Amino acid sequence: MAKQTFTTGQVLTAAQMTSLQQTAMLGGEASAKVASYTLVAADAGTAISMSNAGATTITVNTALFAAGDTVQITNLGAGVCTITAGTATVNTSASLALAQYESGTLDFTSTSAAIFIKGAGAAAASGGMTLLSTTTLSGATTTISAIDGTYKDLEIIISGITINTDSEAVTVRPNAANIAVYAFQVNATNDSATNEIKLSGGKKVANTGGQNAFSMNIYNYASTTHYKTFAWRGRAFETVVQAIYGGGSLDTTSAITSFEIACGGGKTFSGGQVLIYGVK
């Protein structure tokens, strides 16, 4: 039940009393959302659930809530739901990103500020992994941005790559290719400041699905003071199976916040999935 205004002498029905009790206990039926959502004043004192296989946001703006108002948020979907400060300020001692089956409460301290208290679904313990995003490859370049920077390392898993026609190389460009990449890769020469990582190790991958798979780890990716190292391995198939592995460095003190996954030679992706995990 949304926050109510009562009048002197008003008599409440049994249904209203039950709803108020559920609200006081942060219970009751949640308002179900699928797409990204911006909170409205009527959400005060209610519960919201998000169900989406892809990443979503719940945006918080000013002048809608009063100090003491709360909103309970639960993520039921496989895609990460991120609590996002619009015009309001949102603080937390944990992450603003809710993985599947995680929940938390927005506790408003004023009309323009709230504290997000993360509840069910504790943060991953040291060494644990949390799914941050799921993306389908399409077009000549697929961009994954706004990567959560609260983890130690990233693991990126790319599978089922298909290309519209023929075969072609597949590359990853951290931070939109705005950094120098030094890499060594088996079955290819050393790269020097190429601005991209050749996932297929200098080889091409066939346009048949399910036969190309890669994984890559980037260490200390969120650091703003140190360079980063990475390692990758995979299976590339053109006319024969290629076992690919290698590693190198990303020469930047900026945090890695986005990736471009590109198909060369003017070709386009017709399928494939990218999973990004945060490692505590």
* Model confidence pLDDT, tens digit, residues 135-178: 888 888 899 888 888 888 999 988 888 877 766 677 888 887 67
Q: Are 244 and 185 in contact (CB under 8 A)?
A: yes
pLDDT of residue 3: 60
Question: What is the per-residue burial (b if ≥16 Cβ within 10 Å, else e) of 84-107?
Answer: bbeebebeeeebbbbbbebbbbbb
pLDDT of residue 189: 46
- Reported confidence tier of residue 24, pLDDT bands at 50, 70, 90: low
Q: Which residues contact 269 (CB under 8 A, 6 or more apart)?
A: 137, 138, 139, 140, 142, 161, 162, 163, 164, 263
pLDDT of residue 15: 72
Q: For residue 30, how far is the Cα from the chain centroid? A: 23
Q: Residue 48 has which token pair?
A: 């919201």
pLDDT of residue 238: 61
Instruction: Flag whether pLDDT at 184 surpasses 70.
Output: no
pLDDT of residue 121: 54
The answer to whether domain 14-118 and domain 129-279 are alike in fold is: yes
pLDDT of residue 264: 73
Question: What is the per-residue burial (b if ≥16 Cβ within 10 Å, else e) of 201-210?
Answer: bbbbbbbeee
- Among 24-33, 60-69, 77-86, where is mean pLDDT lowest? 24-33
Q: What is the pTM of this model?
A: 0.54
| 34-52: average pLDDT | 92
Rounded Cα distance between 14 and 270, Å, is 56
Phi, psi of 20 (to 5 degrees): -65, -40
Domain definitions of the chain by residue range: 14-118, 129-279
Rounded Cα distance between 266 and 171, Å, is 13
Query: What is the rounded end-to-end Cα distance, in angstroms, of the chain?
Result: 37
CATH placement of domain 14-118: 2.60.120
> Rounded to whole angstroms, what are the CA distances from 234 to 5, 66, 164?
61, 53, 21
Yes or no: is domain 129-279 CATH 2.40.50? no
Q: Residue 214 has which token pair?
A: 């890669």
| 211-233: average pLDDT | 87
- Indicate the helix (H) or strand (E) that contains 268: none
Q: Which of 81, 77, 91, 71 is nearest to 26 (CA)?
A: 71
pLDDT of residue 178: 72
Q: Which of 270, 58, 15, 38 is nearest to 161 (CA)?
A: 270
Amino acid of residue 172: V
| Residue ranges in the chain assigned as alpha helix (H) | 14-24
- Which strands sit side by side in the sheet containing 141-144, from one edge to the other? 141-144, 259-263, 170-174, 197-198
Instruction: Flag whether pLDDT at 21 surpasses 70.
Output: no
